[in-house]
Amino acid sequence: MSVIKHWIDGKQVESRETFVTYNPATGEEIAAVASGGEAEINAAVAAAKAAFPKWANTPAKERARLMRRLSQLIADNVPELARLETQDTGLPITQTSKQLIPRASHNFDFFAEVCQQVNGRTYPVDDQMLNYTLFQPVGVCALISPWNVPFMTATWKVAPCLALGNTAVLKMSELSPLTADQLGRLAMEAGIPAGVLNVVQGYGATAGDALVRHPDVRVVSFTGGTATGKRIVERAGLKKLSMELGGKSPVLIFDDADLDRALDASLFTIFSLNGERCTAGSRIFIQETVYDSFVEKFAERAKRLRVGDPTDEKTQVGAMITQQHWEKVTGYIKLGEQEGARLVAGGADKPEGLPAHLSKGNFVRPTVFADVDNRMRIAQEEIFGPVVCLLPFKGEEDGLALANDVKYGLSSYLWTQDVGKVHRIARGIEAGMLFVNSQNVRDLRQPFGGTKDSGIGREGGEYSLEVFAEVKNVCISM
């Protein structure tokens, strides 16, 4: 079996211990992976610290050139990167090859532009003083990424971090190591100097914890679960923190909406990426006047989604990342039935008719619960799979109150033709993002992130400066 190693100071480095990464669709072993711990983290942080002064002082134009080169190399390797990502995560190949890997390439292109447009601000004080600000690189950044859409999320951190003159240690999830390894390789091929990007593979409790605690790390940019995020906040000490955490995002559909579009978009928002999506619209509130017909159509459409081999271009929902995660998701389906929600599509049993080579795969049928009470656990807890709750509401006031009655606040979605309602709900919704008459469409300039238990801080466009730059004020007496 091949061994995935770390990338430290431009070289591939082994560890004494390894673990195995599995194919979620077949249960087969894919590769052994070096299991990093304190020693590997110390080496990676030392390399990043040594590389920092030169990289921070490299002209933005040159950093941008290298970012573009890396972007191009990713673009040139889309088929292979998509194949690896699908093999490692169970995500459908059409989604990895057409959306996720191309987006990763775009991340580098985009931040190549951003880093050349960083401007300070000026604050003249009468004719006596002039204040101006400098945005400067911070230093060594810990970038910790989850297993869902791993390559896209990792590059969403690496691109602004490096483009703005910082150096990085990337700790990818132990469940999705393959494409992070390729990122290390392609960064070297692009000519990014040794030590600027280091990739350490390993478990959260060992490699992740050592990285977060390291005194030479100045920034922790974390994407993952809320419980892990809370632990990291306790362990990191005085570092700059960006926390992109879990979600249970509401979709509010009013009876004046274009209901066909709302139906299409709501199906996409919960069932794309296997439902393993932080911004999944997993609680759909439908105005009671159109509730019954919407439920019926939604269930019909969910039943028609094709679950199966992630490498098949016709597949719309692939396999859950691990057997353990499959148990969690199907456990919530059983819980929903016990809580008294009405199961109108899917269920905890595996889909029928899968070919023999997929018999050990972690497949879950797209599952729809109707008549859910917002106090049920299935309506309050992040399931992170293809399971959705449909709930009726009466009018604007109770719809908004129900949507906000959850501990998370990442994304939200609204369907209505009433412009006044749009503005009122935009003000009232407790979420970092609201998409109106739209599914989740990302513009890389927009601030991405959440409120409440969904996190701290925003990344994207100039908002990434809040994380990956230090602002310095210079005051000159005239």
CB of residue 97 to ligand NAD, shortest distance in Å: 20
Which residues 6+ apart lie within 8 Å of 187 measured at CB? Answer: 7, 70, 196, 197
Helix (H) or strand (E) holding 219: strand 217-223
Q: How many residues bind ligand NAD (CB under 6 A)?
A: 31
* Angstrom distance (rounded) from CA 139 to CA 189: 23
Distance CA(369)–CA(22), nearest Å, equals 31
408 interacts with ligand NAD by CB under 6 A: no
- In the region spanning residues 270 to 299, those forming contacts with ligand NAD, defined by CB under 6 A, are 278
Closest by Cα among 119, 189, 197 to 160: 197
Distance CA 226, CA 278 (A): 11
C-alpha of 47 from chain center:
27
**Whole-number minimum distance, CB 228 to ligand NAD, in Å?**
3
Query: At closest approach, how far in Å is the CB of 460 from ligand NAD?
Result: 10
Residues 296-315 that bind ligand NAD (CB under 6 A): none
3-state secondary structure of 295: helix
Identity of the residue, 198 or 228, whose beta carbon is nearer to ligand NAD in the bound complex: 228
Centroid of chain to Cα 366: 21
> Taking CB under 6 A as the rule, does residue 232 contact ligand NAD?
yes
Q: To the nearest whole angstrom, how small is the minimum distance from the Cβ of residue 245 to ligand NAD?
A: 5
Closer to ligand NAD by CB, 242 or 416: give it. 242
Question: According to CB under 6 A, which one of 15, 228, 330, 367 is a site residue for ligand NAD?
Answer: 228
Shorter beta-carbon distance to ligand NAD: residue 91 or 212: 212
- Note whether 205 binds ligand NAD by CB under 6 A: yes
Q: How far is the CB of 106 from ligand NAD (least distance, A)?
A: 17
Closest distance between ligand NAD and the C-beta of residue 235, in Å? 7
CB of 63 to ligand NAD, least distance (A): 25
Q: Which of 92, 146, 310, 457 forms a contact with ligand NAD (CB under 6 A)?
A: 146
Complex with ligand NAD: residue 125 or 205, whichever CB lies closer: 205
Among 4, 141, 144, 320, binds ligand NAD (CB under 6 A): 144
Determine if 382 is a binding residue for ligand NAD (CB under 6 A): yes
Which residues are part of the catalytic machinery? 244
Instruction: Name the residue nearer to ligand NAD (CB basis): 230 or 357.
Output: 230
The answer to whether 392 and 336 have CB atoms below 8 angstroms apart is: no
Minimum Å gap between C-beta 204 and ligand NAD is 2
Helix then strand count (H, E) for the chain reads 16, 23
Q: Which stretch binds ligand NAD (CB under 6 A): 43-51, 122-130, 138-146, 364-372?
A: 138-146
Q: Edge to edge, what strands does the sheet with 3-4 contain?
A: 3-4, 29-34, 18-22
23 is an interface residue for ligand NAD by CB under 6 A: no
Count CB-CB contacts under 10 A for residue 343.
15
The span from the first CA to the last CA of the chain, in angstroms, equals: 68
Please classify residue 335 by burial: count the beta carbons closer than 10 Å to its beta carbon, then call 0-12 exposed, 13-18 middle and 19+ buried: middle
Nearer to ligand NAD, 63 or 325 (CB): 325
Q: How many CA atoms lie within 13 A of 448 on its CB side?
A: 20
3-state secondary structure 342-377: EEEECCCCCCCCCCHHHCCCCECCCEEEECCCCCCH
Q: Determine if 212 is a binding residue for ligand NAD (CB under 6 A).
A: yes
Q: Which of residues 147-186 bind ligand NAD (CB under 6 A)?
A: 147-148, 153, 171, 173-174
**d(C-alpha 373, C-alpha 377), whole Å:** 9
Position 26 contacts ligand NAD (CB under 6 A): no
> Can residue 36 be called a binding residue for ligand NAD (CB under 6 A)?
no
Interactions with ligand NAD, residue window 441-470 (CB under 6 A): 450, 455
Contact 114, 464 (CB under 8 A): yes
Can you tell me which of 65, 68, 231, 342 binds ligand NAD, judged by CB under 6 A?
231
Q: Which one, of 274, 292, 251, 286, lies nearest residue 366 by Cα?
A: 274
Judged by the rule CB under 6 A, the positions of this chain that interact with ligand NAD are 144-148, 153, 171, 173-174, 203-205, 208-209, 212, 223-225, 228, 231-232, 244-247, 278, 382, 384, 410, 450, 455
